[in-house]
A and B are shown apart, each in its own frame.
Chain A
C-alpha cells in the first residue's frame, strides 16, 4: 500500500516535470518567433534588403525557415529525444556539443558562487541574529543591502578595472582555461566572477539565515537545551543552525537554479564561455535551435536542482518526511 503511494508520487512528480518542460518548450518556441527578424536579417542586417526573391528563398531553405511552424516545432522536439539538439549555423557545431562545453563552465561558476555566498551569508546571518539591533546586526544589514542593490555589472566592471589597471591582474583577458586543462588559471579566472555573483546571492542567504535563526531560537526546545546545560557553541551549531537549515537550503537551491541561466551579464563581462552567453548569442543571431535547446536544458537543470533540494530537506528535516 505504502509502496504504491510512493510510486504514485514519483509518477506525479515526473509527469509534473515533463509538463513544465513541455510548457517551456512551447513558450520559448513561440516567443522566439514573436521577436522580429530571423536568421537571415540577423546575419545580413540591412544588407538583407538587397536580396532578390530567389536568393531569399535559397537562404530560407538553408535555415529551414521554409517549413511550417508546426513542422519546425515537432521536428525539433522529436529530434531532442534522439539527442539531436539541432545545429548552430554560426559556429558550425551541434548545439549538443556547444552545450556540453558551456554547461559545465556555468555549473562550475554556479558552485563556486554558491560556496562564496554561503561563506559570506551564513556566518554574517548568524552574527546578525546573535544580537538584534546591535552594531553587528547593522553590519549584516549593510552587507545584505549592498548585495541586493549594487548591480552585478557595476561591481564586475569596477573589480575588473581595479584589478587590471592597478595590479595588472586580469586572468580573464586570456583565453578561457578549462578546469581540466589548467586548473590554476581556471580558478583564477573564476574567482572574480564568482565573487560578484556570490556577493549578490549572499544577501538573500544572509537574510534567510538571520530570520531562521531568530525563529528557531524562540522555540521551546532551545530553552530546554540551554537549561540542560548544552555548551553555547554546540547549541548554536547543532541545535540552532541545524534547525535553521531548511529555509537556507531552499533559498540556496533556488539561487543555484537561477544561476544556471542567470549569470549572463557576469559571463559577458568576464568573457566566461558559459551557457548564459550561449543563449544570448543565440538570441542575437536568431539561432532558433540554439536558443530553444539551450533554454530547455537550463529548464531541465532548474527542475532537477529543485528536485534535489526537495530531497535534501527531506533528509535534513524529519517533519517534511512525515507529512
Chain B
C-alpha cells in the first residue's frame, strides 16, 4: 500500500485528533491502531427509524445519520465543514476548470469484502445522473458531461463548465459510492459500504445495530465495537433512558427537552445549525413583486424578537449563508434592526401607504416553533400596517403547497449546506431546479453564482458569495430570520465525539465508551 494514502488523509485525521483532544484528555488522541482497548457498544437514542437504507434517496435526518457511518463518499467534510479527502485521496482541476481528475484511495474494501475501484465510482456517478434511478443528488452533477476511468485508481470527470462546488457536493451521503455489483433492491435490506461501520441487524421500528468495520481505510480505526440506534419515539423518554444509563448519546431538537436533560451525568453540547428559519416571499405573486413592499416587510421585522419569543432565544440571528466558512454578516442588509419609519417609507414608495395583506403558509408539526414564529411575525407586521394572513397547514399539506410553489409567503425552516452554491444555486438562479419555490432570480444573481462556480480560490469565492448574500438581502428576496441549535446529549462515559453543524454523527468513528 502506498505511503501517499496516509499522508493524504493526514489532514482529516489531524483535524479530528486536534478536536477530540480538546473535548477529552483520555480520548483517542494517540492512534497506534493497537488492539486491546475495546470501545464498547454505544447506544444512540433516535426518535424514529430511518425511512430508507438506500443512500441515494435518503434525506431524512435519521437515515442520513445511520448511512453516513456505513457508506463512503469521494470527499468528506471535517468538523468545520471544510472539504477533505474521502475515498478520493486527492483531486485536481484542469486549468480551464473543465476537467476534474480524482485519484482514488487504494486498499479500500466494501463490507462484503470486495475491493473498491474506479469501476464503482463510474457506475455510481452514472447511476446518480440517470433520472430513472430517482437519485436525489442528480442535479448536483448537472455540470458533469462524462465520467471515465482511465485506470483502476483514477476517475476523470469532464464538465460543461467550471464547478468549484462539485467537491463539496460529492461529500453528501446522497453521493455514496456503491459497489457496481450491488442493486438498489439488495441494498435496501443489506447495506454494503466502505464506511467505518457495517450493518449488523435491523428490527423494524425498534433498532439498527452496526458493527465496527475492522478493514476501514482510515488511519484512525473506529474504536467502538458497535453502535445501536435505538428508536425511542418521544424525546423526553430518551432523556429518561439516558438518566437510567440505557442510552449514552442522543441528538435533541426541542430546546425545552435539552434544558431538562442537562445536569447529572448528561452533558448537552449546543451546535449552531446550517438550517435556517426564514419568511420566504414569492416575488411572483401578490403584491410581493414590488421590491419596496418586500423591503417594508424586512424593515418591520425584528429578528431578535422572533428568536426570543418563538424559539426561547435558542439560536442566532442570521443572514442567508450559514456555513462557518462563508457566513453572511447579519447586519449587512437594509434595516439591520427594526425600523418602522423606514417600513412606512417603503410602503409609500410602493404606493401602498395604507398597507396590504400578505397570505402566508405555516406548517403545523413539521418543527416545533413554526406556528409561534408565524404569530410573532403577524404581530410585528401588523404594527407596520401589513396584515399577515396565516394559513396553518398539516405538514404534508405544507410540503405539497411548498413543493408546487403555491404560496405568496411561507414561514419555513430550510436545510442548509456547507457550500453556498449547493445551498442557494438551486433556489436563486433562473434555471435552478428550486427556483419555482424560491420565487426570485435576477441576471445579477445568475452571474454571481456562475462566477462562484468558476472560481476555485477560497478567498475569492468567499467574496463572491458575500455579494450574493448582499444581493439577496438588498432585494429582500426572502427575510432571513435565525438559525437554531442542535443539542447533542452525551453521558459521562462517552469520549471523543464531535458534534457538527450539519447534525452529522460521522465522528462516531472517533468515539469511545469508558
Residues of chain A whose beta carbon lies under 8 Å from any beta carbon of chain B: 35-37, 41-52, 54-56, 58-59, 62, 88-93, 98, 101, 157, 160-161, 163-165, 168-170, 172-176, 268-271, 273, 277-278, 281, 284-286
Contacts and interface: CB of A to CB of B under 8 A. Distances in A.
B205 A173 contact: no
B138 A52 contact: yes
A219 to B, nearest CB: 49
Contact of B134 (A35, A59, A168, A286): A59
Given A170-B241, A172-B237, A45 B49 contact: no
Given A88-B204, A161-B240, 6 more contacts: A35-B394, A43-B59, A91-B202, A168-B244, A173-B247, A176-B206
Interface in B403-450: 403, 405, 414-415, 426, 433-434, 436-437
A50 B394 contact: no
B434 A281 contact: no
Interface stretch (B227-235, B294-302, B451-459): B227-235
A122 B166 CA distance: 70
A169 B403 CA distance: 46
Dominant secondary structure at the A interface: helix
Interface string B223-265: 0000010111110110111111111000000000000000000
Nearest to B404: A49
A93 to B, nearest CB: 6
B134 A62 contact: yes
A169 B134 CA distance: 46
Contacts of B247: 173
B396 A41 contact: yes
A56 B514 CA distance: 48
A284 to B, nearest CB: 8
B396 A42 contact: yes
Given A92-B53, A175-B230, A48 B403 contact: yes
A46 B402 contact: yes
B133 interface: yes
Contacts of A278: 205
B243 A46 contact: no
Which 9 residue pairs across A and B have the least CB separation, nearest first?
A173-B241, A37-B396, A173-B246, A164-B240, A91-B204, A170-B244, A36-B397, A54-B131, A49-B403
B80 interface: no
B208 to A, nearest CB: 11
Which among B57, B188, B399, B402 has the highest number of chain A CB atoms within 10 Å?
B399
A96 to B, nearest CB: 13
Contacts of B434: 49-50
A49 B59 CA distance: 13
A45 B233 contact: no
A54 B237 contact: no
B233 A268 contact: yes
Nearest to B435: A49
Nearest to A169: B244
A302 B51 CA distance: 30
B131 A52 contact: yes
Contacts of A157: 234, 236-237
Given A43-B52, A271-B232, A58 B131 contact: yes
A163 B240 CA distance: 9
Contacts of B414: 46
B134 A160 contact: no
B245 A48 contact: no
B493 interface: no
B59 to A, nearest CB: 5
Contact of A41 (B60, B203, B242, B400): B400
Interface of B: 48-49, 51-53, 57, 59-60, 131-136, 138-139, 188-189, 202-207, 228, 230-234, 236-237, 239-247, 393-397, 399-400, 402-403, 405, 414-415, 426, 433-434, 436-437
Contact of B394 (A36, A90, A271): A36
B233 A41 contact: no
15 contacts: A47-B59, A49-B402, A58-B132, A58-B133, A58-B134, A89-B52, A91-B49, A91-B202, A161-B239, A174-B246, A176-B206, A268-B234, A270-B237, A271-B206, A285-B51
Contacts of B397: 36-37
A36 B243 contact: no
A90 B402 CA distance: 24
Contacts of A176: 206
Contacts of A91: 49, 202, 204-205
A173 to B, nearest CB: 3
Contacts of B188: 92
B415 to A, nearest CB: 8
B341 to A, nearest CB: 36
Contacts of B246: 170, 173-174
Contact of B243 (A92, A165, A281, A284): A165
A271 B131 contact: no
A55 B60 contact: no
B188 to A, nearest CB: 5
A36 B414 CA distance: 20
A164 B241 contact: yes
A252 to B, nearest CB: 29
A168 B245 contact: yes
Given A49-B436, A51-B136, A175-B206, A90 B51 contact: yes
Contacts of A50: 136, 139, 426, 433-434
A63 B132 CA distance: 14
Contacts of B231: 271
B70 to A, nearest CB: 15
A93 B426 contact: no
Contacts of A175: 203, 206-207, 228, 230
A45 B59 contact: yes
B244 A173 contact: yes
Given A91-B205, A92-B53, A35 B396 contact: yes
A45 B134 contact: no
A41 B237 contact: no
A176 to B, nearest CB: 6
A88 B52 CA distance: 11
Contact of A173 (B57, B135, B240): B240
Contacts of B132: 54-55, 58
A283 to B, nearest CB: 9
A176 B207 CA distance: 9
A51 B460 CA distance: 32
Contacts of B405: 49
Contacts of B243: 164-165, 168, 170
A33 B135 CA distance: 25
B413 to A, nearest CB: 9
A93 B53 CA distance: 13
Contact of A36 (B236, B396, B437): B396
Nearest to A278: B205
Given A59-B134, A168-B245, A45 B60 contact: yes
Nearest to A41: B399
Contacts of B234: 157, 268-269, 271
